[in-house]
Amino acid sequence: MVKIVEKRQLTPITKLYRVYAPLIAKAARAGQFVIVRVREGGERIPLTITDYDRDSGLLTIVVQEVGATTRRLGELQQGEEILDMVGPLGEAPDIPSGGHIVGVGGGYGSAALLCLMRELKDRGENTTIIMGAREKDLLILSDELNEICDHVEICTDDGSAGFKGFVTERLQQMIDGGPPGPPDYVIAIGPMAMMRAVEKTTRAAGIANAASLDPLMIDGTGMCGGCRVTVGGETRFACVDGPFFDAHEVDFDEAVSRSKMYVKQEQKAAACQRSAAGAA
């Protein structure tokens, strides 16, 4: 059981939790993730570590409600407990020093970039984050990221804040020499479609690009093989070999297809959850 010390509503469907998980907070490194289970009979789902504080033993996670389990998690309040949490899982990414490092975060992906960008900043890197959302109200943690990164580039689909357009369009402007300058290394975290689009952009420009993959997984220790992704023609497990991979080597078509494996069942589970809520 892991106690929720603080809950913040970032957007109508995105919540930030600070939980007391001293062992995980002590061992965590930027870019790693945890697996949580919310109730008996519930799924195990991976969540990226947004931040950690070794002294207080607090771990920050951000949850976007997309399925039955994340919705259930979103209902938990400050003072309540998360049934199971295990981690830190996966490997921290190995990001080369020097040059202009650009993080591209879509939706909840911006949260996943938070402690990674701070670690890079502490290392003395020149950092920029491009964060995208549909509209202004869906942008998350922009104040926190503003403190950490040298440049914060905001993109919204409707132009309600920052640049009007997709993160990839803003990225292309930078590659073409627009401020704050062309990237030497790009880290993409967000929805699979966004990471794929970022990869296309960086590939055309010949820029190194890491992507953090979050396929379906159960144990997170390499035991089930459900999170397998094809990288450079080889089968790799995102849980133990990842979550970061060279985006140019990732078979995104396959990864997207595998991420949709249980769409039907997820709809059924969601309907079941709604009718249960209705009954209550």
Binding residues for other proteins, per CB under 8 A?
Answer: 23-24, 27, 37, 41-44, 68-69, 83-89, 218-219, 221-226, 228-230, 235, 240, 254, 257-258, 260-262, 265-266, 268-269, 272
- Tell me the closest approach of the beta carbon of residue 118 to other proteins, in angstroms: 22
Task: Give the residue with the Cβ less far from other proteins, 92 or 161.
Answer: 92
Do residues 197 and 168 touch, judged by C-beta distance below 8 A? yes
- Cα–Cα distance between 274 and 156 in angstroms, integer? 31
Coil, strand or helix at 85: strand
CB burial readout 182-216, b (16+ within 10 A) else e: bbebbbbbbbbebbbbbbebbeebebbbbbbbbbb
Is there a contact between 195 and 215 (Cβ–Cβ < 8 Å)?
no
Q: Which is nearer to other proteins, 170 or 228 (CB)?
A: 228
CB of 276 to other proteins, least distance (A): 10
Q: How far is the CB of 29 from other proteins (least distance, A)?
A: 11
179 class by beta-carbon count within 10 Å (0-12 exposed, 13-18 middle, 19+ buried): exposed
CB of residue 1 vs other proteins: minimum separation in angstroms? 10
Q: How far is the CB of 55 from other proteins (least distance, A)?
A: 16
Report the residue number, 67 or 99, with the smaller CB distance to other proteins: 67
CA atoms of 123 and 217, how far apart (whole Å): 32
Distance CA 217, CA 119 (A): 27
Find the shortest distance in angstroms from Cβ 206 to other proteins: 28
Instruction: Rank residues 34 and 133 by Cβ distance to other proteins and give the closer one.
Output: 34
Q: Please, which residue, 184 or 251, has the CB nearer to other proteins?
A: 251
Distance between CA atoms of residues 71 and 137, nearest Å: 19
Q: Which CB atom, from 118 or from 228, has the smaller least distance to other proteins?
A: 228
